[in-house]
Amino acid sequence: MKKVAVLLAGSGVYDGSEIHESVFALLALDQRGIEYQCIAPNRDQHHVVNHLNGEEMAEQRNILVESARIARGEIMALDAIDVHDFDGLVIPGGFGAAKNLTDFAVNGAECSINTHVASACRAFAQARKPAGYLCIAPAIIPMIYDNGVKGTIGNDDATASAFNALGGEHITCEVDDIVFDEEHKVLSTPAYMLAGNVSQAASGIEKLVSKLVEIA
């Protein structure tokens, strides 16, 4: 049975992984008979946001502990995994991907990426194993792959410009479609960068997972 790692960045759209996107990805994998393992960095997240009012809260939370909420406790620390145990990688969006895995949300094209995240993503790339990035997570793609790697973050001009400045080639993409860079075996879809409802978000994610499973 094929097995895919799903890299989470907390729990909640404003400071962690987007929960709908994460669940859609897990569901799409399971429906295709693919085993999955949720993984996350074991460190404090950038900050904590009150999802009721959008305001920052004066507390700190651990990314792995928060991600375990989505994974129902079945989760591994990112630095404990062996890439050879997996056939592919999926990274849901949510601001956690741009705050906890990288600091793209803060620094844009001048951003950096967490060391363990970079190491894991590059290991999948070097092993020629397919990876799928959802929503804002594709901002990571040009930090991992060669210059000119294709990806999408929907149609936002500023975000697309930052993607290009990082060395990628941004492709405008509809919510129900994907961008597949065949050379690098990397896929991306806009999800909630464009989606107006859960069905729209699910449409592109299902297509991405289907393609990832096909080429894994």
- Which residues are catalytic, by number? 135
Joined tokens for residue 25: 């990805």
Q: Mean per-residue pLDDT for 8-34?
A: 98
What percent of the chain is predicted at pLDDT more than 70? 100
What is the reported pLDDT for 123? 97
**pLDDT tens string 167-182:** 999 999 999 999 999 9
Say yes or no to pLDDT of 147 above 90: no
**pLDDT tens string 80-136:** 999 999 999 999 999 999 999 999 999 989 999 999 999 999 999 999 999 999 999
